[in-house]
Amino acid sequence: MPDGVAIDPICALKSSLLPILSDTAMLIRLLYTLLMLIASPFLLFGLYKSKPGKPAFGKRWREHFGITPPLTDSRPVIWLHAVSVGESIAALPVLKALAQTYPQYQLLVTTTTSTGAAQIAKHSDWLSHRYMPIDLPICLNRFLRTIKPECLLIMETELWPNTLACAKQAGLPIAVINARLSARSAKRYGQVPWAFNQIACRLDKLFCVAQDDAQRFAQLGISERSLTVTGSIKNDIQISNTVIEQANHLRHQLGEQRPVWVAASTHKGEDEQVLAAFNTLLKQLPQALLILVPRHPERFDAMAQLCVDSGFSVQRRSAGFDTNQTCQVYLADTMGEMLVMLGASDAVFMGGSLIGEAVGGHNMLEPAALAKATITGPSYYNFTDIAEQLIQAQGLWVCHDSQQLAEQMTQLLQDQGLRQQVGQAALKVVQQNQGAVAKTVQELAPLLTAPP
């Protein structure tokens, strides 16, 4: 070694450990791939299993194996992945803004589920759709060779290790849109940092819903240069005239003078509590109507039977509507009509929030954007930031059990002025938080340099 040349012991240690760390990362990914290979038949069985209200995959099942029809448009491709219905609907404002800002690109959306595909199919005049390949390198690389995307945008936190690795190996910049990380999820990731690092090292940008999300990502090792707080794109929701017209028509059918409330996105174990609350509410408001919207379509039949077994007269939306006003529970057993159901109601209970910490709540921004007085259960950790803003503004109420839900909903349905006050407070919070779509598209610019 030449005289006078100093050796940095830290650099020397890093250099000696790099091959070992690299081999460890490869081993972790190999083990994951083997586990995914074993689990794939079971995952696909659940995915393809026929369920009420679920569109069939038909011959397109091959797309899950990367056997993907090529795109006919010659423009370069922006690829956005949205796993299912909720993510697909949430992504539409960003997709529309991208289409306007970058007309030199074509937009491809992948979903895992057929219900998500059905949502994108409604916009087939300007969006292309393919099913997302299984998270196996052979499937993903076949997809990438066919589609040749320029970048990958991922809605929320649908982060699959092989998808990220293969996309990065193909030279794609990767960004996560509307990135959320609850304290609960951050704690879990923190227990397996070696697994999270396999994901984190391949992400170029994370556009976070709130500062709390960005801080949690940073604590897990994501570079602050990769983190931008854009707000929630769900705040930028625009209620179309078509939705308003459909909601008004439905309300006319249901009865304009009846007290009507929605239990939205309910889960197993929660429906019983909702029905118990409704039974209590009927003692004060015997003409009231409950619109019940189960979260998962495979539960539609079971929910109809549960309502009958609980002593309620039930009308299913899929069967049309009988205007005889005898219906007590209107079961929303169709897909993609949540805004219509919310718009037809007087007040809302947002589900996924009365069953402990299993779910963590659902999006209360949709009823807020419609100026609907809304109640949530105590478990809303997936939407902590916006929920706390709504609560502070008195635009969201929290109930802790079925009895309190009945009491609060009765109070709202009996007092129109109070309902309007709570709903307008919620709408004001939504309006104050808008602008996330424009900021997200602006921040994507370095990843979407116009092709020559």
Active site residues: 87
Sign of CA dihedral 158, 159, 163, 167: positive
Decide: residue 29, CB within 10 A, 0-12 exposed, 13-18 middle, 19+ buried.
middle
Cα first-last separation, the chain: 49
Q: Nearest-CA neighbor of 80 among 187, 156, 169, 8?
A: 156
Report d(CA 168, CA 80) in Å as an integer: 15
Neighbours of 208 (CB within 10 A): 27
Q: Which residue reads 């503004």 in tokens?
A: 393
Residues 6+ apart with CB under 8 A from 162: 29, 32, 33, 36, 135, 136, 137, 140
Rg of the chain in Å (alpha carbons)? 24
What one-character DSSP code corresponds to residue 61? G
Report d(CA 302, CA 222) in Å as an integer: 43
Contact 367, 350 (CB under 8 A): yes
Q: Nearest-CA neighbor of 171 among 199, 148, 155?
A: 148
How do 77-81 and 106-111 pair as beta strands? parallel
Contact 235, 433 (CB under 8 A): yes
Residues 6+ apart with CB under 8 A from 312: 275, 278, 290, 328, 329
Please give the structure tokens belonging to residue 124. 């087939």
What one-character DSSP code corresponds to residue 255? -
Report d(CA 415, CA 63) in Å as an integer: 52
Amino acid making up residue 135? D
Q: Which residue reads 């949690």 in tokens?
A: 216
- Provide the 3-class DSSP secondary structure of residue 94: helix
Task: Report the largest interatomic distance among the alpha carbons of the chain, rounded to a whole angstrom.
Answer: 98
- Provide the 3-class DSSP secondary structure of residue 2: coil
Q: Nearest-CA neighbor of 41 among 60, 69, 68, 65?
A: 65
